């Protein structure tokens, strides 16, 4: 929630209305917001996860923004919670219910090869995708990516070749 305290309010004349000292994209107090920021808070909530934050012209960069590059607390908390949720779902479905999926078995048996191959597959697929690509193109690229990694790992499993550490 503290990330919305760093919103930049600009009036009609183009000057900062909220009394914040704006000296570039970074906030002067990026970790612990000053008391005046708390007093000027309008009660707004931050963006939900996986939604891009506003640009530096609307919000100063701060530690509370969800940023993988900055390694912020909000990012590590969300990523850890999401990973735990996916892991718990997998344990519930695969271990408790006894369901087996060939994809998990193949990638799990040769996980080191899958880790190396996913970079190679990304190098092959990424040049065909742009930020303006449509949903169908992105879905096709993802299917080709998964097919390459799964196909190579399946071939390695069929040959009984396993990469071990």
**Model confidence over 106-153: pLDDT tens digits?**
988 999 999 999 999 999 999 999 988 899 999 999 999 999 999 999
Q: Judge whether 5 lies within some domain.
A: no
Asked whether residue 106 is domain-assigned, the answer is yes
- Nearest-10 crossing angle of helices 111-125, 102-109: 100
CB burial class (10 A; 0-12, 13-18, 19+) of residue 35? exposed
Residue 145 burial class via C-beta count within 10 angstroms: exposed 0-12, middle 13-18, buried 19 and up = middle
- Tell me which residue range forms the domain holding 132: 100-165
- The count of domains in the chain is 1
Of 9, 134, 111, nearest to 60 by C-alpha is 9
The answer as to whether 121 is a domain residue is: yes
Specify if 110 maps to a domain: yes
Collapsing DSSP to helix, strand or coil, 59 comes out as strand
Within-domain flag for 36: no
Supply the pTM of this predicted model.
Answer: 0.58
């Amino acid at each position: 929630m503290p990330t919305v305290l760093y919103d930049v309010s600009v009036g009609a004349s183009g000057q900062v209305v909220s009394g914040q000292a704006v000296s570039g994209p970074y906030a002067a107090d990026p970790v612990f917001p000053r008391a005046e920021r708390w007093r000027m808070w309008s009660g707004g909530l931050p963006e939900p996860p996986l939604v891009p934050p506003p640009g530096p012209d609307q919000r100063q960069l701060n530690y509370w923004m969800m940023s993988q590059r900055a390694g912020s607390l909000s990012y590590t908390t969300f990523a850890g919670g999401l990973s735990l949720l996916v892991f718990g779902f997998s344990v519930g479905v695969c271990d408790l219910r006894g369901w087996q999926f060939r994809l998990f078995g193949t990638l799990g048996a040769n996980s080191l090869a899958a880790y190396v191959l996913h970079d190679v597959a990304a190098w092959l697929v990424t040049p065909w995708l742009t930020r303006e690509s449509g949903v169908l193109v992105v879905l096709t690229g993802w299917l080709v990516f998964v097919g390459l990694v799964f196909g190579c790992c399946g071939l390695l499993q069929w040959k009984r070749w396993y990469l071990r550490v």
